[in-house]
Each structure stands twice: as structure tokens, then as C-alpha cells.
Amino acid sequence: MNDAEQLDEDLTKLIGRPTGKSRVVLERGPVSYFAIGVCDKSPVYQDPRAAEAAGLPGIPVPPTFSFAWDTWGKFAEMQPDDVPQGSAVGEVVGSLMSKGGVILHGEQEFVYHKPVFVGDVLLGEGKVVDAYRKESKGHVMTFVVTEMVWHDDKTGDLAVTSRSNIIHRL
């Protein structure tokens, strides 16, 4: 088996591997500051009275916040016991980067199954959903698509699905 065939086989084995599991609390301070961080000046992120005036049951979160929310609110004592060890994507990216190249965020998708609000607790579980390689304009591009599915921890309702396409370009 040559290097390219070996890499294709490694990529195929990556599909379906778990990427992580975490439980997060959506905290008001981080939500409000994240809104400012993306230049969203809506008062509904800053003041519960403004959210109420807009007919909302609480302070909502900006549409891209789920990409960042486990930076906060991922409290040690709340984490599930069966978190996968190691990083499936990290291993592959590390082996690709050993040959040089750059890592790019190619695409990002969010599916919102229901709105979430400050105070909600969510349980997320991730896996690799696709991994492939192609050549383009003299570059070898390796694509790894990961998916994180978040459920409301109290009701079990599906809340947000996040899909990221990460590219290694050599």
C-alpha cells in the first residue's frame, strides 16, 4: 500500500469516530459579551426586559454562539463520565500537519431545531461524519466534516446541530 492509499484508508476509518461529549450551561455574561463580539447591538442580548418586550421567554443566544459556548459553562462537575478519550480529528490533523500545510475552516452549518435561552443546559455529542481527499489547483486538500448534536439536558429535545468542514491544504 502506498502513502496515498494508506491516507485514504485512515480517512475512511475516521468516519463515525466520536469527537467529544460535553454538558454546557448557557450563561448570561458570555452570551451578552459574545453578541458584542460579533457586533450585534440588539438589546435583547443585554437586558432581559428588552427580551421580554420582544416577546421572548428569556435572553436568546446569537446564531453562531454554539460554536463557542463550551469555552464557558462547561463545568467540571457536570461533565458526562463517558467522554471519548483522545481526539480523533486531532490525530489526523497532527499527522497531516507533520508534512506542512495549513488548516482552514471551509464551511460551517447550524441547524436550529428549537430556540435556546440563557439558563438552558445542553448536552452535546460529536462525531466525524465525513472525511475525504481531493486535488485542486496543485494542492492536496483533505476534508474532515464533524458534527456536534446538542440536546436540551432537561427535556431531551433536540436543540442545535453544528457541522464544520475543516480543510488541510498542502
Partner 1 sequence: MMMEALSVLYFEDVKEGDEAPVKKHRLTRTDMVRYAGASGDYMPMHHDEVFAKSIGQPSVFGHGMFSMGLLGAAITDWVGKTALTRYKVRFASQTWPDEELRTQVTVTGRTVDEDGRHLVDMECKLLNSEGDVKVVGEAQAILPSRN
User: Nearest distance from residue 163's CB to partner 1, in Å?
Assistant: 8
C-alpha to C-alpha distance for 31 and 150, rounded to whole angstroms: 17
Could you tell me if 127 and 16 are in contact, meaning their C-beta atoms sit under 8 angstroms apart? yes
C-alpha to C-alpha distance for 137 and 123, rounded to whole angstroms: 41
Could you tell me if 146 and 166 are in contact, meaning their C-beta atoms sit under 8 angstroms apart? yes
Contact pick of 79, 106, 129, 130 for partner 1 (by CB under 8 A): 106
For residue 50, state whether it binds partner 1 (rule: CB under 8 A).
Answer: yes
167 contacts: CB under 8 Å, gap ≥ 6? 103, 104, 105, 106, 141, 142, 143
For residue 107, state whether it binds partner 1 (rule: CB under 8 A).
Answer: yes
For residue 132, state whether it binds partner 1 (rule: CB under 8 A).
Answer: no
Query: Is 128 or 160 the residue whose CB approaches partner 1 more closely?
Result: 160
Query: Is 17 or 66 the residue whose CB approaches partner 1 more closely?
Result: 66
Query: Is 16 or 63 the residue whose CB approaches partner 1 more closely?
Result: 63
For residue 141, state whether it binds partner 1 (rule: CB under 8 A).
Answer: no
Phi, psi of 160 (to 5 degrees): -140, 140
Contact pick of 1, 3, 5, 55 for partner 1 (by CB under 8 A): 55
Sign of CA dihedral 2, 144, 137, 97: negative
Contact pick of 104, 139, 154, 157 for partner 1 (by CB under 8 A): 104
Contact pick of 6, 12, 95, 108 for partner 1 (by CB under 8 A): 108
The identity of residue 69, as a single letter, is W
Residue ranges in contact with partner 1 by CB under 8 A:
30, 33-40, 42-45, 47, 49-50, 53-56, 60, 62-64, 67-68, 71-72, 102, 104-112, 115
